[in-house]
């Protein structure tokens, strides 16, 4: 047998291995990349070769997947001609530079960053809502995964729109440090230790400014000319795109909270008709991958019994305006709207034979 190209590892021993794709994970050492590798293993995603790719800083590391040790290849030296599918989860700047390279060399790219979510001709896919978008390989070679803030919202309101219509959505997200990767997690942990040892000390704030430890930050990312942030604008646009409602009134506020992982969202939904709460709860219970907590308590990211589901609580139809209601959503941000959605896209592509 000829030696494998740089970055290649032992094949996964599957009966249908000849038909299985060669896969690359770009950003394999990051927070989303690590979760993606866990899911590839747990869900038995078939592959012939698995290439782990990252920056020069991480190249050479060894990561064990499916009982085999895989050495991380350097992105600058990696040849995308050796793969059929490339997961990108290393940040928008990396995707903007390297996704066109991967596509030009024949790979189908599943991108979990914000780089291509609003790009013309790039399908923005939530498989539970529109798997038919994967019936054909996209002409541009890229399939985008909506952000972790958008996916829970669209998954619970799509059928609401079909039943009562939608007039307006107002969403406030409460996002943990893992949204900013390992660097964000480490800065929160280090800062928390610093403040606990000396309440007057000022924690380091290289990733989050001001420091996130024992704090709540009322904006995430770049502030735009109208006072909103780029993430808020992108969240609203992703919701409109996935729902196929380009004129929908969507307003978002994205808040950073001092927890390592997980995400919460308070969502106000205004419909075109009066909403019956009992019917609403029944509709939400019937949604695939959604768990309804219809009790005085509410789900929190720290106590999710299944991190692969969207958890819904605090369902409140407005007493003075029965065409509107509140929801509370809790999710694992590294899985829902991140790694899990990317893996599901590839599962659908393989099932449909459109690779």
One digit per residue, pLDDT tens: the chain, 355 residues?
Answer: 233 333 444 444 443 556 799 999 999 999 999 999 999 999 999 999 999 999 999 999 999 998 999 999 999 999 999 999 999 999 999 999 999 999 999 999 999 999 999 999 999 999 999 999 999 999 999 999 999 999 999 999 999 999 999 999 999 999 999 999 999 999 999 999 999 999 999 999 999 999 999 999 999 999 999 999 999 999 999 999 999 999 999 999 999 999 999 999 999 999 999 999 999 999 999 999 999 999 888 999 999 999 999 999 999 999 888 999 999 999 999 999 889 999 999 999 999 999 9
CA dihedral 85, 86, 87, 90 (to 10 degrees): 180
Compute the distance between CA of residue 299 and CA of residue 5 in angstroms, rounded to an integer.
47
The pTM of the full predicted model, rounded to 2 decimals, is 0.91
On whether residue 188 sits in a domain, the answer given is no
Max intra-chain CA distance, the chain: 73
Q: CATH number for the domain including 274? A: 3.30.360.10
Looking up tokens 């106000």 gives: 268
Q: Do 161 and 229 belong to one domain?
A: yes
On whether residue 75 sits in a domain, the answer given is yes
* Structural domain of 109: 17-147+338-352
On whether residue 11 sits in a domain, the answer given is no
Cis peptide before 210 (omega within 30 of 0): yes
Residue 50: in which H helix or E strand, if any? Answer: strand 49-54
Q: Which of the 8 DSSP states describes residue 334?
A: T
On whether residue 72 sits in a domain, the answer given is yes
Q: Do 300 and 348 belong to one domain?
A: no
Q: Do 108 and 160 belong to one domain?
A: no
On whether residue 181 sits in a domain, the answer given is no
User: Domain tally for the chain?
Assistant: 2
On whether residue 42 sits in a domain, the answer given is yes
On whether residue 131 sits in a domain, the answer given is yes
The region that residue 295 occupies, defined by phi over 0 for left and psi between -120 and 50 for alpha, beta otherwise, is: beta
């Amino acid at each position: 047998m000829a030696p494998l190209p740089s970055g290649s590892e032992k094949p996964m021993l599957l009966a249908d291995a000849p038909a299985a794709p060669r896969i690359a994970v770009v950003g394999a050492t990051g927070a989303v990349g690590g979760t993606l590798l866990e899911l590839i293993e747990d869900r038995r995603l078939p592959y012939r070769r698995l290439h782990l790719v990252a920056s020069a800083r991480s190249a050479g590391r060894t990561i064990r997947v499916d009982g085999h040790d895989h050495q991380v290849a350097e992105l600058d030296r990696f040849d995308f001609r050796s793969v059929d599918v490339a997961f990108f989860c290393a940040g928008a700047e990396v995707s903007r530079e390297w996704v066109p390279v991967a596509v030009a060399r024949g790979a189908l790219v599943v991108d979990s960053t914000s780089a291509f979510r609003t790009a013309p001709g790039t399908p923005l896919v939530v498989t539970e809502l529109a798997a038919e978008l994967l019936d054909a390989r996209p002409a541009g070679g890229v399939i985008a995964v909506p952000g972790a803030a958008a996916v829970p919202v669209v998954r619970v309101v799509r059928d609401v729109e079909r039943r009562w219509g939608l007039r307006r959505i107002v969403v406030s997200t409460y996002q943990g440090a893992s949204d900013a990767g390992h660097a964000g997690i480490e800065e929160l942990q280090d800062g928390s230790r610093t403040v606990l040892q000396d309440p007057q000390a000022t924690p380091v704030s290289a990733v989050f400014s001001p420091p996130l430890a024992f704090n709540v930050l009322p904006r995430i990312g770049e502030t735009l000319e109208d006072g909103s942030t780029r993430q808020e604008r992108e969240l609203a646009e992703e919701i409109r795109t996935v729902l196929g409602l380009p004129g929908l009134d969507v307003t978002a506020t994205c808040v950073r909270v001092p927890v390592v992982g997980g995400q919460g969202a308070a969502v106000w939904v205004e419909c075109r008709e009066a909403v019956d709460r009992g019917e609403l709860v029944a509709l939400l219970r019937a949604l695939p991958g959604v768990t309804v907590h219809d009790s005085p308590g509410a789900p929190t990211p720290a106590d999710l019994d299944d991190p692969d589901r969207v958890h819904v609580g605090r369902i409140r139809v407005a007493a003075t305006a029965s065409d509107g209601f509140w929801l509370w959503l809790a999710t694992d941000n590294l899985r829902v709207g991140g790694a899990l959605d990317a893996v599901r896209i590839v599962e659908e592509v393989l099932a449909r034979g459109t690779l």
